[in-house]
């Protein structure tokens, strides 16, 4: 029976069942690599199919590549599991004093709150000054000029646009707002990678949702083991100590 497997962004195969199992034994594919053969409705992880060895045993996710492997083929280091392929990279990170990919020191609620207050003060200064200038100009020129209507539109745009630009730009560019930089914390993906502008945009609007539901979305960070607020859960992000 011919089998196909999906790695490196493309379909590979066909290969016979024995060859597919050898590829898994050599860690070319992992237990969660999508595979397919005639008779299957859709692609499925290797370990859920008849092609997987009957006695796989307990499995773990590699802290580096994020793939699933049997524990018997992995090495455990403290709370992390690493596959044979990623072992050199993993221990190179340890040697260099860098936290292994996927392991973090999560920022405390206190540090996040102070960062929030610092950003709030910065935004007040940035937004209040142009609002006062626009409002003052509108009052001086009066209604006949039609300026009050445009002034109202400009004020609304400033009050909503500047905070959005502030958050999305700094998080997308540096992984942290100035307040978070001050507290030496940053936002990363679950894999420890940089947050894209698209994800930063989604997180900004998800954070608004966290506030709209009586701030329960923010309070979730108190009892979450990874200190995730609702917007972190929605966008699969983590707030971590930058220099840990």
CA dihedral over 49, 37, 19, 13, signed as positive or negative: negative
Q: Which residues contact 149 (CB under 8 A, 6 or more apart)?
A: none
CA dihedral over 113, 119, 125, 127, signed as positive or negative: negative
Instruction: Kindly report the pTM of this predicted structure.
Output: 0.59
Give the Cα separation of 10 and 61 in Å (integer): 22
Give the Cα separation of 176 and 239 in Å (integer): 9
Q: How many CB atoms lie within 10 A of CB 218?
A: 19
Q: Is 36 helix (H, G, I), strand (E, B) or coil?
A: strand
DSSP conformation class of 71: G
How confident is the chain (244 residues) per 10-residue block, as mean pLDDT?
83 86 81 86 84 70 78 79 83 67 79 96 90 71 60 85 96 96 93 90 95 93 90 93 77
> Domains of the chain: which residue ranges?
1-56, 58-103, 109-241
Q: What is the pLDDT of residue 172?
A: 95
Instruction: Cite the beta strand spans of the chain per DSSP E.
Output: 3-7, 10-15, 34-37, 44-45, 59-61, 68-70, 74-77, 80-83, 185-189, 237-241
What tokens appear for 121 in the block?
A: 């003060």
Q: What is the pLDDT of residue 230?
A: 95
Q: What is the pLDDT of residue 112?
A: 96
CATH code for the domain defined by 1-56: 3.30.1490.40
Strand pairing of 10-15 and 44-45?
Answer: unpaired
Q: What is the pLDDT of residue 2?
A: 86
């Amino acid at each position: 029976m011919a089998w196909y497997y999906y790695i490196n962004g493309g379909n590979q195969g066909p290969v016979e069942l024995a060859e597919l199992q050898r590829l898994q034994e050599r860690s070319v594919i992992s237990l969660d690599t999508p595979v397919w053969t005639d008779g299957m409705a859709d692609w499925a992880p290797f370990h859920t199919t008849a092609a997987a060895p009957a006695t796989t045993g307990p499995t773990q996710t590699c802290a580096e590549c994020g793939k699933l492997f049997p524990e018997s083929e992995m090495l455990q280091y403290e709370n992390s599991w690493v596959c044979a392929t990623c072992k050199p990279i993993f221990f190179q990170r340890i040697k260099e004093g860098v936290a292994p990919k996927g392991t973090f020191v999560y920022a405390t609620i206190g540090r996040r709150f102070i960062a929030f207050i610092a950003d709030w003060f910065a935004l007040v200064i940035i937004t209040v000054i142009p609002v006062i200038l626009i409002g003052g100009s509108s009052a001086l020129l009066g209604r006949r000029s039609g300026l009050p209507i445009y002034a109202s539109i400009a004020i609304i745009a400033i009050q909503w646009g500047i905070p959005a630009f502030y958050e999305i730009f700094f998080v997308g560019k540096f992984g942290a707002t100035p307040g978070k930089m001050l507290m030496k914390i940053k936002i990363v993906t679950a894999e420890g990678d940089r947050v894209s502008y698209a994800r930063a945009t989604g997180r900004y609007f998800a954070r608004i949702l966290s506030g709209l539901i009586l701030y329960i979305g923010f309070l979730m960070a108190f009892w979450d083991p990874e200190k995730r607020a609702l917007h972190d859960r929605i966008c699969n992000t983590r707030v971590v100590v930058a220099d840990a």
